[in-house]
Structure 1
Amino acid sequence: MLAALAAVLVVGLAAAGVAVVQPGPVAGWLGEAPATPDGAADPSEPPPPPVLTAAGTAAPAPTPDGIRAALTPLINGSILGNEVNISVVDPAGGEVLYEAGQETPTVPASTTKLVTAATVLAARGPAYRIATRVVAGANPGEVVIVGAGDPTLAVNGTGWYPGAGRLDRLAGQVKTALGGTRPTKVIVDGSLFPGPELEPAWDSDIPTGGFGAVITALMTDGARINPKDPGRAQARYADPDIAAGRLFAEQLGLPASAVRKGQAPAGATGTASPAAGASPGAGPPAAGAELGRVESPPVIRLVEFMLENSDNVVGEALARQVALARNKPASFEGAAAAMDEVVAELGLPANEIDVFDGSGLSRSNRITPSGLTDLLTLAAKGSRPELGDLFPGLPVGAWSGSLSERFDRSDGAEPTTAGAGAVRAKTGTLSGVHAIAGMVTTVDGRLLTFAVLANKVPDSVSIDRARLELDRIAAALAACGCR
């Protein structure tokens, strides 16, 4: 099945000479290798149907008049309120097909994660991995676990994120490196993230509502208390760094009382060889010597985790990687400044993209619809190939992530089923704010970029109803040749 999915053409821009062919989400893709099934595939089994509509090599382009005719009936008198800002672009030729408030700064909610994805892919590169290290403390038996901002770090093999680095393996390295020295204390160094731990414009229920957490440099499983919980909204640790330190101490056979916050010795290095261990009679490792390290999945997989299920904690961690790559403080403010810097370097309209966090939870964020379609068009054209790596993580209509249960219904009004497999997009939701931005393939096979941001949705409109209205707009683009 994975091999079949890997053959699916996700999005293409034949006119521009570019195709993005990576599938997603596939848990084993560029992470841990998928298990090989026992036995050969049944040759009588028909191949699975494609889950995405392929973009044709010579698909006719829609016209502005055609797009206007398809969308106007849905937008006039929409229940989404009087501030629905839209941009639709044909990225092959760069033609703007529909505009309505396209340059209006709008609260983007989680469509902000498209900016986070693009900037971290540009700043760190798709292959970069975040290393969590343990170094020797100032006193014999002290070990310092140094948080580097990996939100996927797992305790063992049952973590939330596939292919994550693991504390049990890190503890094994440390025991080997210490040789005959018994660990007695775990010091948690989270100084890489200077704080604050919450963005000032976040809603008050963010750290306790199950979709976010306080942001620290060391945490396990995105700060989830129970990573085995399959739901989307899980309880999170109030102090993720201390919780991670205690879980690490447990792997070393130490009690929770052996854990405290602190910092690694000045000049801590990575010169020790944890695989070799301490030689007999050599004494304890020097203060600051590296005792072990584990690494996150590559950035391309972290971006996929973030986009597929709108993981807010991973979004904040990736924003801080942009800050670190640009030698700025790994804080909300430093990350925002670094992201703005990279946006400008990419040639995107910096005055149309103004972010204060990486997740989109901040109500201070402002992005225009045309800013999002410009970003998506740049990613699709191939002039910055690393940006194309944001596409595998984008949810697909009626198939994956936050769109897995959308684009599959009709209630007698405008149906949404045309968007199934044809829409690949990031969604966004805050109270009163609903958004969707991504790619859609028309019935003729033409690929379009689009963004719909609604900022003043009445309180009387339910979340489900607002999402259905957005889906109808995207489905209308999928259903028509719009010529």
Structure 2
Amino acid sequence: MPVLVLALAAVSLVIVRPGPIAGWWGSGDRSPAIIELGEPTPPPVLANVPDNAPMPTPAGIRAAIDALVTGSALGSEVNVSVLDALTGESLYVRGGDVPTVPASTTKLATAVTVLATRGPAYRITTRVVAGAEPGEVVIIGAGDPTLAVNGTGSYPGAGRLDRLAEQVKQALGGTVPTKVTVDSSLYSGPTYEPGWDADIPTGGYGAAMTALMTDGARLDPKKSTKGAARTPVPDLAAGKSFAKLLGLPAAQVKAVSRGTAPPANGSTAPPTAGTGPIEPGTELGRVQSPPIIRMVDFMLTDSDNVVAEALARQVALSRGQPASFVGGAAAMDVVLAELGLPADQSDLADGSGLSRSNRVTPELLSRLLVMVANGQHPELTGLVNGLPVAGWSGTLDDRFGVAASRMGAGVVRAKTGTLSGVHAFSGLLTTADGRLLAFTVLANKVPVGSDQAQPILDRLAATLAACGCR
């Protein structure tokens, strides 16, 4: 059987334009079978791969990439795994079972575990209920980082606070509430992971993780993932935005505070306006996130750390673990083992890869990609659509542009990872003979200040794509 790597969950659809799917389908939930792009249709990227394409030999791959792996640009600790995606056969290994800091390639593990536990179609629901005090409404954070204030949000298809406010107003018969309380108690533990570098809270690459936030905690929803300024109190900021939308006066907006929602009373709709007070715990409105598969796209394409941490907490909740850094990481390790991946080769601390405490092996990441690509777990295959395409999309849109790596443009889909002194690259590519390979390179002692590591990683992947390596 051919290896199908671009099937969406439950849909046999080959995407013929490389890059992410976010934005192509608008804000709706249904994907058209034919997408009018207004431009010539390029050839498929990693489409149906024949199973009879010649497999590279270990000797051929060694001859092609050994000098790149052992050169000085990647430093003294470079661990590599290259596998045949059809058979899982190891074609090149160098420290393949050595636990290594994976940086943002950790997000591959986050993607696989959340798709395996929640499923591609799952949505996160943000609810508002009547509070215990007269005139109080409580907005309950459920861990949706994509929630938008209005139609100018950061994430396509996100749930919106303005629509939630309209539902609440209608449920209250037009009566303006007197108090907004934020229930963000779903998350526990520190809001920043202890293993994060000291500049992450202020550098805009991560955010304080709270169960309620809007636009990934960005101060400006239109700022990109890279270095966007974030609010230090995302839940309260979201609560104040909601209070403004409800029409509360400035003093009451300023007084928005944290609290706990009363227990649900079993009612999903308030009594008709004018028939009496609304019981505490009565639901007044709800909005939902995009499907998990779309959130995985956001995470992988732009290496969105905030979305990654929220998805890791969804894994924790699915396994009865606390929705915290520790709970998410522990649940992800468990789910990776449940999927048949080597349990002793994963020791995670967060879901984004910002933590230097994370340890995984190149073999685990490559085997994870083989599992995604071989079609044996249909719920996972949609992950591939979110992987950046070399020279085209996401974190690879400005790479693979020089002569030494240009052959990889459009035929390499991979997740990048970068911390100071750490460079990682893990993904899928097709060789010149049409064979699909999974590869991972984790370099943990890259000379500080070096600007050669990324070009070497690009060249390595392009070399594999350009040769038959036999």
- TM-score (normalised: structure 1): 0.90
**Residue 74 (str. 1) matches residue 68 (str. 2):** yes
Q: 1:231 to 1:272 in 2, by over 3 A?
A: closer
Q: Distance in 1 between matches of 2:421 and 2:57?
A: 32
Q: Distance in 2 between matches of 1:113 and 1:171?
A: 33
**Residue 282 (str. 1) matches residue 240 (str. 2):** no
Q: CA offsets per residue over residues 399-453 of structure 1, 9 Å max, x none?
A: 110001111113xxxx000110110000000000000001011111110000000
The corresponding residue for 2:27 is: 32
Q: Aligned partner of 2:348: which letter? A: V
Q: CA RMSD in A?
A: 2.3
**In structure 2, the residue corresponding to 1:97 is in which secondary structure?**
strand
Q: Distance in 2 between matches of 1:121 and 1:46?
A: 32
Structure 1 residue 283 displacement after superposition: 2.0
**Residue 453 (str. 1) matches residue 442 (str. 2):** yes
The corresponding residue for 2:364 is: 371
**Residue 382 (str. 1) matches residue 375 (str. 2):** yes
* Native 8 Å contact 1:328 1:338 kept in 2: yes
Q: Distance in 1 between matches of 2:433 and 2:313?
A: 41
Q: 1:22 to 1:284 in 2, by over 3 A?
A: farther
More deviation, 254-263/82-91? 254-263
The corresponding residue for 2:467 is: 480
The corresponding residue for 2:202 is: 208
Q: 1:258 to 1:175 in 2, by over 3 A?
A: farther
More deviation, 144-153/85-94? 85-94
**In structure 2, the residue corresponding to 1:339 is in which secondary structure?**
helix
Q: Distance in 1 between matches of 2:375 and 2:4?
A: 14
Q: Distance in 1 between matches of 2:204 and 2:273?
A: 49
Q: CA offsets per residue over residues 14-33 of structure 1, 9 Å max, x none?
A: xxxxx883565122467623
Q: Distance in 2 between matches of 1:431 and 1:394?
A: 22
The corresponding residue for 2:106 is: 112
**Residue 358 (str. 1) matches residue 355 (str. 2):** no
Q: Distance in 2 between matches of 1:203 and 1:181?
A: 47
Q: CA offsets per residue over residues 49-108 of structure 1, 9 Å max, x none?
A: 226254542321111111011001212323111111100000212211000111110000
* Native 8 Å contact 2:143 2:210 kept in 1: yes
More deviation, 223-232/146-155? 223-232
The corresponding residue for 1:314 is: 307
**Residue 324 (str. 1) matches residue 317 (str. 2):** yes
Q: Distance in 1 between matches of 2:336 and 2:208?
A: 26
* TM alignment of 1:138-287, pairs within 5 A: 138-230=132-224, 232-254=226-248, 255=250, 256-265=253-262, 267-269=263-265, 271-273=267-269, 278-287=271-280
**In structure 2, the residue corresponding to 1:208 is in which secondary structure?**
helix
Q: 1:35 to 1:272 in 2, by over 3 A?
A: closer
Q: 1:118 to 1:225 in 2, by over 3 A?
A: same
More deviation, 379-388/113-122? 379-388
Structure 1 residue 41 displacement after superposition: 7.8
**Residue 433 (str. 1) matches residue 422 (str. 2):** yes
**Residue 64 (str. 1) matches residue 61 (str. 2):** no
Q: Distance in 2 between matches of 1:178 and 1:449?
A: 55
Q: 1:126 to 1:53 in 2, by over 3 A?
A: closer
**Residue 402 (str. 1) matches residue 395 (str. 2):** yes
* Native 8 Å contact 2:172 2:273 kept in 1: no
**In structure 2, the residue corresponding to 1:340 is in which secondary structure?**
helix
Q: 1:182 to 1:336 in 2, by over 3 A?
A: same
Q: 1:363 to 1:231 in 2, by over 3 A?
A: closer
* Native 8 Å contact 2:297 2:387 kept in 1: yes
Structure 1 residue 195 displacement after superposition: 2.0
Structure 1 residue 258 displacement after superposition: 3.6
Q: Distance in 1 between matches of 2:73 and 2:104?
A: 21
* Native 8 Å contact 1:315 1:359 kept in 2: yes
Q: Distance in 2 between matches of 1:452 and 1:26?
A: 26
* Native 8 Å contact 1:194 1:331 kept in 2: yes
Q: 1:41 to 1:182 in 2, by over 3 A?
A: closer
What 5-or-longer segments of structure 2 have no aligned partner?
Answer: none
Identity across the alignment (%): 63
